[in-house]
Structure 1
């Protein structure tokens, strides 16, 4: 039996129409019940990013919580995932990414509200929250098996996929394409082994694959940061995430500026392709409208993680006394991740025409677009962006897995978990197992089911908390206006 084939079949089922319909359907339900909150309250949400009161209990301020969540969501999916979606589903896939993001903003808002509403404090005095807590405390003890299922899935995703192997692989591949560090170090080690006449098996492997020094360096850097807990992770995220996002936005903006005449035609292809489905290779026969919808929504959700339940784990640590306030701030994460960054990636590869070049895929498509405008340093620029995106994703997911473990086993296993996580990073460069990545995709998708059940079941609580916050804001406005008159 071909294990990879079996896992891919399961993966296609998990990320198939049932989950995508549930994800978007939950977003539509919340959008209706919250009366288009993602549109009407977006200006306030953007203002709160920098001007939240930060008066409540919590480990970090609201901006740090947002940056920690963005650290995990703004990752290789914004560069690789968008290119893959458009390459498979055509330009129309970008339109369906927007649709997923629009309704996903309401979902992310609800996640942020419930994260604060049902958070708790662990034995070390740190804040713990997320789907496992609002499922158990909100829906009731009889739903605890669902909460446990989410927590176990979260740990597996952190250790086996999004948090480790796939990110380290992206970092190693991008850096080695430019500098060839692993191969260079590997040649030195092979030479030493030849002189010592030992480890013939290891010699052959290193001679073929190089020595994964990059993964070990990543493991060391992560170890320095994560043992400081959420405060240490958030401090790094606060500094790195805004810088990497701004740099990528500026670089993409320059590419679009150079190709400004192609922007409107590219947008035309996005809207027409959304309902006809044109693939990169094979013209209109290569993809269907269904493929554009599936790839666009799946990659959009995979990128911004709305509905998967990961972001509320970070949101729970925010200092705030109003759940709805953090909900609004969390909502901006989906806007930044997909509406801004993924859109820039999509338009960049569309206006440069690299999306339909045969023989390249994934990161190479985006890299080719950068090389057209930055011929000498394009590869270096995209490597820096990919490395920063992937590194911050590792930090965010280390924290997510830690909180999931704390829910299951308490604080005693946290340091053991951190060492295991770092060990997985270190050995990532030695592993080329597609089976592991396929398994990680499956477990990542499985996280969504218990979370979405929790969101639907607690949607009434979200509406109530929203009303209370809006009434608070009205009273605040009245007081401010009266003080001005006085």
Structure 2
């Protein structure tokens, strides 16, 4: 097991080198400037689309704009926001948060392009059902000769979207915050981890075998409430440590460009750490969100791109920032020996009154983790369907739920390394295809906003 862990860590570290950083961050800056900051200039219109103002039940697709964003957020607003941020600060210091912000900002432009393309170049599976995602963008947009790149994405997607990180961290928080403090699971942690893993398999199976419509419905109900509950809890922590908030921001900015105490003092390393955790958190440029938004009921690619760009804003600029500030203002990042979700639990437990902090976090973790577990299965089945045919895609879910048990009993180091490495592999086809097809998105955006302007003028007349 140790040899496998070392291999996965080496694979992940190699994958997340300078070339990938340039592809993700450099590509994001390119999208931002190439579009003339277009996505950011139409935030109001994006919100109107999200509210359903332009919904047409006769449009092709499976779920509406709100359900598409909720389902994508169900995967991104998850354990990456709670434990992923803690892992980032533990390994890279508070300055990592600044580079997560930068990555999220350019990630909004990236998601606008990649998710617009997911609708623009929707393909069809072997059953004739319309499907979206980077593999279809590659084949439909770049041509059949590029299919090996699409296959490369789908293979990486089979493993990059596994639920092992969510299962690992959910198991950890249940054991260390709920069971052990009450004198349960103090011995033989493997047995208890296995039991929790089996329970997660049962609950997850009840939802994911119902398909994307059930996933979208469940996510649409759970995501808003989970974000609200988490924000209220963290804002309370901010309020009780209000004097420390300015110093926390100052520390983040200072550490972002010095990194004296971490990663050997290498600023480049801390930038990579921030980009890795932001990619894990909001998945901009990875391609998973493109698969979800590709299922939206719309025939206007630009509309879905605008809705999708709200994801990194909500996920990283809001939720991850709140988590990071809670860890920093409470001093947990310096005093806690825990890593991942345990560090965040310590921050909650030390700040919320009546000892309820840890249990509030458990509730948030349960919702975050389960919505991620539900949504990730959809990504894997789409990749499996592309590779082996739609009639066999349900077999992937059996493999998917079995890996939940592996995640529950494996070390967090091995789990993060595997997912990080596969995310890096998924980003390569996603970003290459988006960069090559970006002129198509720009032309479509000009046409779309021209039509919207003409429509408004007709209404006024």
Please give the range of the TM-score, normalised by the shorter of the 2 chains.
over 0.9
Q: Cα distance, 1:278 vs. partner?
A: 4.4
Q: In 2 relative to 1, CA 126–384 (structure 1 residues): closer, same or farther, beyond 3 Å? A: farther
Answer yes or no: is the 8 Å Cα contact 1:93–1:274 preserved in 2: yes
Residue aligned with 1:395, SS: helix
Q: Are 2:292 and 1:314 equivalent residues in the alignment?
A: yes
Distance 1:352 1:139 in 2: 50
Distance 1:209 1:108 in 2: 41
After TM superposition, the structure 1 = structure 2 runs for residues 75-474 of structure 1, keeping only pairs within 5 Å, are: 75-124=78-127, 126-158=129-161, 163-180=162-179, 209-210=191-192, 212-279=194-261, 287-357=265-335, 359-375=337-353, 376-426=355-405, 428-432=407-411, 435=414, 437-474=416-453
Q: In 2 relative to 1, CA 432–301 (structure 1 residues): closer, same or farther, beyond 3 Å? A: closer
Q: Cα distance, 1:83 vs. partner?
A: 1.7
Distance 1:371 1:286 in 2: 31
Q: Cα distance, 1:70 vs. partner?
A: 0.7
Answer yes or no: is the 8 Å Cα contact 1:92–1:277 preserved in 2: yes
Provide, for residues 318-365 of structure 1, a one-character-per-residue CA deviation record: whole Å limited to 9, x for no partner: 111210000000000111000100111111112111112252322222
CA RMSD across the alignment: 2.4
TM-score normalised by structure 2 residue count: 0.93
Provide, for residues 286-325 of structure 1, a one-character-per-residue CA deviation record: whole Å limited to 9, x for no partner: 6332233221222112210000011000001111121000
Q: In 2 relative to 1, CA 287–360 (structure 1 residues): closer, same or farther, beyond 3 Å? A: farther
Q: Are 2:454 and 1:481 equivalent residues in the alignment?
A: no
Distance 2:196 2:53 in 1: 39
Distance 2:339 2:167 in 1: 19
Answer yes or no: is the 8 Å Cα contact 1:185–1:210 preserved in 2: no
Distance 1:342 1:289 in 2: 21
Provide, for residues 410-469 of structure 1, a one-character-per-residue CA deviation record: whole Å limited to 9, x for no partner: 112122112222232245445559556533332221011111110111011111111111
Distance 1:306 1:386 in 2: 22
Q: In 2 relative to 1, CA 66–292 (structure 1 residues): closer, same or farther, beyond 3 Å? A: same
Distance 1:367 1:35 in 2: 42
Distance 2:247 2:164 in 1: 38
Answer yes or no: is the 8 Å Cα contact 2:21–2:275 preserved in 1: yes
Q: Are 2:28 and 1:50 equivalent residues in the alignment?
A: no
Answer yes or no: is the 8 Å Cα contact 1:115–1:312 preserved in 2: yes
Q: Cα distance, 1:173 vs. partner?
A: 1.1
Answer yes or no: is the 8 Å Cα contact 2:122–2:140 preserved in 1: no
Partner residue of 2:69 out of 66, 69, 72: 66
Q: Cα distance, 1:207 vs. partner?
A: 7.7
Report the more deviating stretch, 72-81 or 96-105: 72-81
Q: In 2 relative to 1, CA 437–371 (structure 1 residues): closer, same or farther, beyond 3 Å? A: closer
Give structure 1 stretches of 5+ with no counterpart: 188-204
Distance 2:44 2:371 in 1: 27
Distance 2:337 2:183 in 1: 27
Q: Cα distance, 1:228 vs. partner?
A: 1.5
TM-score normalised by structure 1 residue count: 0.88
Provide, for residues 126-151 of structure 1, a one-character-per-residue CA deviation record: whole Å limited to 9, x for no partner: 43110000011111111000000101
Distance 2:108 2:200 in 1: 32
Report the more deviating stretch, 330-339 or 70-79: 70-79
Distance 1:348 1:259 in 2: 9
Answer yes or no: is the 8 Å Cα contact 1:92–1:278 preserved in 2: no
Distance 2:193 2:333 in 1: 32
Distance 2:338 2:409 in 1: 25
Q: In 2 relative to 1, CA 272–179 (structure 1 residues): closer, same or farther, beyond 3 Å? A: closer
